[in-house]
Amino acid sequence: MFTGSSVALLTPMTRQADGSTQLDLDAWDRLLTWHANAGTQAVVVGGTTGESGTLDHEEYVQLLTHAIERLKGKMWVMAGTGSPSTAHTIARTRLAASLGADMALVVTPAYNRPSQRGLLAHYRAVADASDIPIMLYNVPGRTAVDLLPETAVALAEHAKIVAIKEAVPDMDRIATLVQAGLAVFSGDDPSFAQALRQGAQGVVSVAANIVPQTVAELCRLAQTNDWVAVREQDAQLADLYTFLGVETNPVPAKWLLAEMGGCAHAIRLPLVELDSKYHERGHAILDRLRPVPPQ
C-alpha cells in the first residue's frame, strides 16, 4: 500500500472548431511524467476531478492504458470505477483490473441515495467481483449519501477493501477509521494536514494538480513527524485551497493548470470554463506560489 501524496488527476482536452472537446493524450502523458518526477505516489484516473461523468468508454480505456504503460512499477495507478449502478461499477472495476490498474477507487453511488445497508451490499458485491484492492470513497457533498464510519469499518472486514478516501473534514471520524485499521486518505485538501496528524496515510489531492512537489513534501514531513514544518507548508497553500472551491471542481484547478501551460483551456459540458471575475485572483496565487510547470 502506498503512502503520501496521490493526485486526483485532471483530464486534459482540446476544443474543436465545432465546440466539442477531445482528449489531449500528449498533454496527458506529460502530466503523468510530471507527477512521477514530482514525488507523487499514486494517480487517480477517471475520477471526479478527471470529469469521469463525461468520459465515454473508449476515452476511459485510453487514459487508463496510457497511465499504466507510463507509470507501472513507478507509482500506483488507481482507476475511478464508481457509479450509481452496482452492475456498471463491477464491470468498470473488472475492466480496470484487466488493463493492469493497481487499485479501484469506488465512490458511493450518487443520486439514488442508498441506505447504509444498501452501501454494505453494494461495496461487498463490487469487492467480491474484484481482482484488485478497493479504496472506498466518501464524498457526501457530491453524492448526497454519507458512508458512515461504522459502515466503512464493517466493509473493512472484506479482504479486498483496504482503504478509504474520506472527504468529510471530521477529525474524530478520521481517527475512528484509522483505529479500525483502514488505510485512510484525506479527500479534503484544506484539512488533509490535520488528517495526517490523526494517522491518515496520505491524501488524494486536487491541489496536487497544481503544486505536486509541495503536496508530496508536506506528506514527507508528516511521515517524519515534523508538524511545525507541516503547519508552515500547509499555511502557504491556504489561498490555493480556497481558490479551488470558488466554482465546482475541477473548473478552478483546470484553469490554473492551463495558465501554467499544462493543458488547454477546454472543459466538457455541462461544466464551463472559470468565470473571468476569478482570473486576477488565480494569477496572484500562481505568482506567489510559482509552481514548477509540466514540461
State the SS3 of the chain: CCCEEEEECCCCEEECCCCCEEECHHHHHHHHHHHHHHCCCEEEECCHHHCHHHCCHHHHHHHHHHHHHHHCCCCEEEEECCCCCHHHHHHHHHHHHHHCCCEEEEECCCCCCCCHHHHHHHHHHHHHHCCCCEEEEECHHHHCCCCCHHHHHHHCCCCCEEEEEECCCCHHHHHHHHHCCCEEEECCHHHHHHHHHCCCCEEEECHHHCCHHHHHHHHHHHHCCCHHHHHHHHHHCHHHHHHCCCCCCCHHHHHHHHHCCCCCCCCCCCCCCCCHHHHHHHHHHHHHHCCCCCC
CA pair distance 152, 131, nearest whole angstrom: 20
Cα of 242 vs its chain's centroid, Å = 17
Strand partners, 7: 43, 205
pLDDT (0 to 100) of residue 198? 97
Q: Which grid cell sits at 193?
A: 494536514
- 275 touches 243 (CB < 8 A): no
pLDDT (0 to 100) of residue 179? 94
The CATH number of the domain holding residue 84 is 3.20.20.70
- 122 touches 83 (CB < 8 A): no
Per-residue pLDDT of the chain (295 residues; tens, 9 = 90+): 899 999 999 999 999 999 999 999 999 999 999 999 999 999 999 999 999 999 999 999 999 999 999 999 999 999 999 999 999 999 999 999 999 999 999 999 999 999 999 999 999 999 999 999 999 999 999 999 999 999 999 999 999 999 999 999 999 999 999 999 999 999 999 999 999 999 999 999 999 999 999 999 999 999 999 999 999 999 999 999 999 999 999 999 999 999 999 999 999 999 999 999 999 999 999 999 999 999 8
Asked if 165 is an active-site residue, the reply is yes
pLDDT (0 to 100) of residue 145? 97
Tell whether 294 is covered by a domain: no
Positive or negative, the CA dihedral 253, 255, 256, 260 is positive
Q: Give me the DSSP letters along 6-49.
A: EEE----EEE-TTS-EEE-HHHHHHHHHHHHHHT--EEEESSGG
Tell whether 157 is covered by a domain: yes
Out of 123, 137, 160, 254, pick the active-site residue.
137
3-class state of residue 94 by DSSP: helix
Q: Which grid cell sits at 1?
A: 500500500
Tell whether 116 is covered by a domain: yes
Tell whether 295 is covered by a domain: no
CA pair distance 50, 251, nearest whole angstrom: 10
Out of 60, 123, 165, 254, pick the active-site residue.
165
Q: What residue numbers bound the domain in which 167 lies?
A: 4-289
Strand partners, 14: 22
Tell whether 61 is covered by a domain: yes
Tell whether 103 is covered by a domain: yes
Question: What is the tally of structural domains in the chain?
Answer: 1
pLDDT (0 to 100) of residue 1? 83
Asked if 60 is an active-site residue, the reply is no
pLDDT (0 to 100) of residue 156? 96
